A = this chain, B = another copy of it.
Amino acid sequence: MPKVTIAQTILAVNEQVAQEIRQALMAYGIRALNIMSSPGAGKTTLLERTIERLRGRLAIGVIEGDVETSADAERIEAAGAQTVQINTRGNCHLEAHMIRDALGYVDLATTDLLVIENVGNLVCPAAWDLGEDRRVVVVSTTEGDDKPAKYPNMFAIAQIMVVNKLDLLPYVDYDVQKVRRHALAINPHLRIFEVSCRTGEGLEAWCDWLETFARGA
């Protein structure tokens, strides 16, 4: 099957910028997450709830990636985190040079954890290193339990999977165990959290892990 090939040179340049970012963040003792999902899986809501719960425990800086609008950045700012919005204007994923530019607007000296919310897309963002320490894929119980099988690369490159919208399980056909099984078959080292941002279920375990991770443990 022929493909549109992204020139290797572009990815090599991206990798180099991602390394610069990693070194800059390390110099400030900041750890970074790259959060990815389908549109509407609940990345922004998960971040809102996380920031609220970790207020006073962890200084979180957020870089919001969206094709258009600054609505998500406004929500995150209202939740109490330092936020920078990137609008990709049609581009389907974030790239390292966008993060490098955005970091100029983050007060690194007072930040413990940097969270990058990628463009909603289960395919393209997986190919682009943003200088993060960990990649998180969020899935939700309303989008079908076939996502790991159908978009395996995203689950192969992630270290953490969050299953969101547990509260809607009674109303949908979704087998959480099947999702876990398929995801772990692709990536046996995947750490899995099951949460509901609406009821709060599972958020404490996620936030505890995040705090430990941000403290460098």
Contact = CB atoms under 8 A, between A and B. Distances in A.
Interface of A: 1-4, 6, 10, 38-41, 66-69, 71-72, 86-92, 95, 97-98, 119-124, 140, 142-144, 146-147, 149-153, 165, 167-168, 171-172
Nearest to A75: B146
B120 A38 contact: yes
A136 to B, nearest CB: 16
A86 B150 CA distance: 12
B90 A153 contact: yes
A97 B2 contact: yes
A40 B121 contact: no
Contacts of A39: 38, 122, 143-144, 147, 150-151
By DSSP majority rule, is chain A's interface helix, strand, loop, or mixed?
A: loop
Contact of A92 (B41, B66, B123, B168): B123
B68 A4 contact: no
Contacts of A147: 39-40
Contacts of A98: 1-2
A95 B171 CA distance: 36
Given A40-B143, A151-B39, A67 B4 contact: no
A124 B1 contact: no
Which 5 pairs from chain A and chain B are nearest by CB? A40-B143, A142-B142, A92-B123, A38-B39, A40-B144
A93 to B, nearest CB: 8
Given A67-B150, A151-B39, A168-B142, A3 B120 contact: no
